[in-house]
Each structure stands twice: as C-alpha cells, then as structure tokens.
Structure 1
Amino acid sequence: MSRALRVLLLAVVAGFLVTISSAALADCGVQAEVGEVTETCDFSSGDIEGQKLDYPMAQWSVVQICKDGGRRPDGLCYNPDDCTTAAGVPGTRYTLFRDGENVGTACLAAGEVEKVDDPPPVRDLVIEAFQALDWKPSELTVQPKNGKTLVNLKTNFFTTNTDVSSIPVQLIRARVVVSARPIAYRWNFGDGSSITTSSPGAPYPSLDVSHAYDRTDEVVVSVDTQYGDASFTVNGGPPEAIPSTIWVDGATQDLAIVEALPQLVIR
C-alpha cells in the first residue's frame, strides 16, 4: 500500500474531511502544498446566513475547536484551532450546531462568531417564504353551466377570488402575517388560446371575459391567478411592502363545445 493511500485511510478512520490534490485547501482557505492532507471547513459565515434562510425556525450555536484537547474548565480553548476565512481573515475553527445537532465545522473571525445565533432579518425570511405560502387558487365559473357551451357563441368566464388573502407565519422570535391580493388572471380556454387580464370577469350578461369557440370539441379550461401587492406585519406592527409576485395554477374543468341542432316545433 502506498504512503498516500495509508494517509488517506487513516484520515477517513479519524473522521476528518480530507483532500489530496494540487488544489487542496488548508486551514479553511489557504492553499496547501501539492499532496498535503488537510482538514477543511464545511461553512463560512456567508454559508451560515444562507442556512438560516433555509431553516428559519432553527437555533444556531458554535463550539470552538481546540488543538490537542486544550480546553479550560469553563469550556473555552486556550489552544484554539486557527484557520483563515474565505475573506482571507485569520479565524478559528468551530463546530456548528443547528437545534443542538452537529452539522459541520466553520471557520469564523471574531466578529462573525457573535452573529451566529442572531436570527436573519425578518424581511429576508418573509421574501424567501412568500413563494412557498399556500395562496389559494381561483375557482372558475363558466357560463353556460353544466359543462357545455355552443360553438361560435361567446362563453362567459369569471371568478369571485378578488379579496386580499392573509396567511400567518410563525418565524423565530417573530409572529408574521403575510397578505397579498389577486392582481392578474390568466384564462386558459383549452383550444390553444389564453388571455391575461386584471379583471376577474363577471356573471352574464357582462361578458367581460369571454371566448368564442369556432368548432365543436372537448376542452379543458382553467384560470391561473397572480398574487401581488403584497405586504407583511411583524407582531401586529405596521405593514411593510413585499416586492414579490407569484402565479397560482387553478383547478381544471372539462368543457364540451357542441352545435345547436334545429328542432321542429308544431304549434
């Protein structure tokens, strides 16, 4: 067995993350010599901030890593394991915990350590969560009813989903309510055509949103809804605008386009 392979096996058994290449990273950011075996860190301070957005309810903490068991009775290191951060600043290696679970190591400078357990800005969390919230789809009404309409005559479409929707979101150290309203509707007529309007349509006889089919067919129709004009409040405070919008697909329904047949009526 070669010397390099023995070193690699020993490192894996010891539980360390190792690399053997000309681009190996030493001390969480310093280039190592060719063939040198080094430990690397899993996270930078920027990575941790990104993780906070992914896990908005988590509690984060770090424990300093000590060389050769050099830890004082109070838990601090008198022989800390030094590293260089991604920004090229001297730092110290830490074990990173999410809700008490070890998720890896991080190289952090002194000013970055104090920020680990700070929650990310609520605004960042809300904007990140906006797309994932359960905005309700619009219910589509088609006239004539009963799933049938006539060829070459206008079929009327509308929805009653026009009001502001509010969704409560419990974030770490904050009670948030996110609100948005329908600002646009995309009408899918099932024959390859569609239109987008700011109008939700209206019941017959308005024909505000209508479509005439030029041949008999069986189609599937729906209306998608764009939510926007959004805002959020924190712990009952004043609303703050959210720049995001989101399209929500509507449920589909079948529609038969039929031809009116003349009937002889004897009077």
Structure 2
Amino acid sequence: MQQISLYDPVEDRKTPQGYRCVPVGEAGSIDPASLPPLVITVTIEDLKRMPIHTPIAHAGPERGWLPVNMVNVLYTNADTQELETEILGTPVRIRATPVEFHWDLGDGNTIATTDPGKPFPSERISSEYRFEGWYDIILTTTFTGQFSVDGGEWQDIEGSIEIESDPVELFAKSLESRLVNGSEDEDEDSGYGGDDNDEDEEEPWIPERTPDTEGPIDPKARHRRI
C-alpha cells in the first residue's frame, strides 16, 4: 500500500488522502515499472484548506454613516488567486476564482450578483436604507476552483466554497428627523455638533452602537439578483 497525502505549505504538514495498492517484486521491493500511472486530483475539501485571501467588503462612505434613502455603493475585489502545494512530491497549482457575491444589508434586504461592483460614483451594485440605525453589511463570496499538476492543463474542482468577509458597520442617519429645536440639545437633536460659528460644516452627531440604536428590519425587504 502507498499513502497519498496533500501538502499544506502554510501549516507545513501533510494530510492523508488515502492509499493505493502497488505490486511487489520478487525480492519484496516495489517494481517501479509495474506501478500504474499515478493520478493526482484535488477535491473541494482540499480547496477549503487552502489559504485563500478573504475579499474585502466596501460599503458606504469611509466616514461610516450615510443619510437615510441615500445610495449605498457596494463593491469588493474580485481577483483570481493562485496557490501552490505539493502532492507526493509533485508540484500542484490551485486556482480559486470568485464567481458570485452575496450581500446581506442587515435590514432584511439582500443582493446576489456576479458583478464585484466599483467604487463611487459607480452605482452598479447599490442599495438604500429606509430607516435610521446601525447595520452590519456582510459579503459572502462563492469561489470555484481548478488545479494543475506539474505544469499540466487546468482541471476543474467539483463543487464550490463560500467565504464570508468581515462585516462593515454603517449607520443610516435620518437627517430630516433632527431639525433644530431651540429647546433641546443641539448636538443630539439637530443632528449636528460643534460651534455654529465654525466655517466648515460639522459631521452629524452619530450615536454609539447599543441595542437601542440598532436599525430595524425593513418590512418591504426583498432579495435582488443583479
């Protein structure tokens, strides 16, 4: 019996992939000429163990908030990644390609697309929030894979994997609900802080994230495919 292992260069270890039978010569040693051709393959489980870089989700302005009903631009990097490993001393290249992007906007709305999107002013992939509050935007990217043994042709890996990006925290600000009221604290209730004599417009007041400031679910939420 001969053990087949997959070498992980990141963890510097080999993972057993099973065994194959080999004939034995008269002297008890393996006769190389009698060995069947070695077939190396890579499975979807092998792809899951590879150190694929997680795509970075981008949403809304860098300031971390945007007005209610304003366009929220979504995009990510969509580079194909190539990694190297070794199976039975044979070099194997693995290619992971992003093929679909699923955006969860945190308010019940979701978007599925094969388009990674582009930064503002593009609005190819975008959404809006109807209510004020904090939301987590989560991107899940679906990858398919291929592998090449010792410089040979690329072969498809059956199946696909999903990788979830770190959430993007975003506050939807209802500026219309924060009109100036002289009887109330301007910092909280006008929506703007700072000195009225400042020449530059101050950023709106944004509350800390607490259970009371979480954004509600949109009753008209829907799933869109773009």
Report the TM range for the smaller structure's normalisation.
0.5 to 0.7
Kindly indicate whether the alpha-carbon contact (under 8 Å) linking 1:167 and 1:179 is maintained by their aligned counterparts in 2: yes
Residue 129 (structure 1) aligned to one of 40, 46, 51: 46
**Aligned partner letter, 1:211:** S
Q: What's 1:146 paired with?
A: 63
Query: What displacement does 1:208 show?
Result: 1.2
Q: What's 2:160 paired with?
A: 245
Question: d(CA) in 2 for partners of 1:166 and 1:262?
Answer: 53
Question: d(CA) in 2 for partners of 1:155 and 1:127?
Answer: 34
Kindly indicate whether the alpha-carbon contact (under 8 Å) linking 1:147 and 1:256 is maintained by their aligned counterparts in 2: yes
Query: What displacement does 1:59 show?
Result: 8.5
Deviation string for 1:33-86 (max 9, x for gaps)?
A: xxxxxxxxxxxx9xx98x868604x88899xxxxxxxxxxx89xxxxxxxxxxx
Kindly indicate whether the alpha-carbon contact (under 8 Å) linking 1:52 and 1:119 is maintained by their aligned counterparts in 2: no
Structure with the larger helix share: 1
Query: What displacement does 1:145 show?
Result: 2.1
Query: What displacement does 1:175 show?
Result: 0.8
Residue 170 (structure 1) aligned to one of 80, 86, 90: 86
Question: d(CA) in 1 for partners of 2:148 and 2:112?
Answer: 30
**What secondary structure sits across from 2:117 in the alignment?**
coil
Kindly indicate whether the alpha-carbon contact (under 8 Å) linking 1:151 and 1:258 is maintained by their aligned counterparts in 2: yes
Deviation string for 1:159-187 (max 9, x for gaps)?
A: 1x212101111111311010021110011
Kindly indicate whether the alpha-carbon contact (under 8 Å) linking 1:157 and 1:210 is maintained by their aligned counterparts in 2: yes
Kindly indicate whether the alpha-carbon contact (under 8 Å) linking 1:231 and 1:240 is maintained by their aligned counterparts in 2: yes
Question: d(CA) in 2 for partners of 1:186 and 1:248?
Answer: 10
Question: d(CA) in 2 for partners of 1:220 and 1:239?
Answer: 38
Kindly indicate whether the alpha-carbon contact (under 8 Å) linking 1:156 and 1:203 is maintained by their aligned counterparts in 2: yes
| Corresponding position: 1:55 with 2:6 | no
Query: What displacement does 1:239 show?
Result: 1.6
Q: What's 2:185 paired with?
A: none
Give the root-mean-square deviation of aligned CA atoms. Answer: 3.5
Residue 109 (structure 2) aligned to one of 150, 170, 193: 193
Kindly indicate whether the alpha-carbon contact (under 8 Å) linking 2:140 and 2:164 is maintained by their aligned counterparts in 1: yes
**Aligned partner letter, 1:186:** H
Query: What displacement does 1:259 show?
Result: 1.3
Question: d(CA) in 2 for partners of 1:151 and 1:233?
Answer: 49
Query: What displacement does 1:127 show?
Result: 4.2
Kindly indicate whether the alpha-carbon contact (under 8 Å) linking 2:102 and 2:140 is maintained by their aligned counterparts in 1: yes
**Aligned partner letter, 2:88:** I
Kindly indicate whether the alpha-carbon contact (under 8 Å) linking 2:79 and 2:97 is maintained by their aligned counterparts in 1: yes
Question: d(CA) in 2 for partners of 1:119 and 1:214?
Answer: 62
Q: Please, which runs of 5 or more residues in structure 1 have no aligned partner? A: 1-44, 63-73, 76-113
Q: Percent of aligned positions with the same letter in both sequences?
A: 23
Structure 1 outlier segments of 4+, above 3 Å: 51-54, 58-62, 118-121, 125-128, 261-266
Kindly indicate whether the alpha-carbon contact (under 8 Å) linking 1:137 and 1:224 is maintained by their aligned counterparts in 2: no
Kindly indicate whether the alpha-carbon contact (under 8 Å) linking 1:130 and 1:244 is maintained by their aligned counterparts in 2: no
- In the superposition, the TM-score normalised over structure 2's length comes to 0.61
* Larger-Rg structure: 1
Q: What's 2:214 paired with?
A: none
Kindly indicate whether the alpha-carbon contact (under 8 Å) linking 2:5 and 2:88 is maintained by their aligned counterparts in 1: no
Query: What displacement does 1:207 show?
Result: 1.2
Query: What displacement does 1:224 show?
Result: 1.2
Kindly indicate whether the alpha-carbon contact (under 8 Å) linking 1:216 and 1:256 is maintained by their aligned counterparts in 2: yes
- In the superposition, the TM-score normalised over structure 1's length comes to 0.53
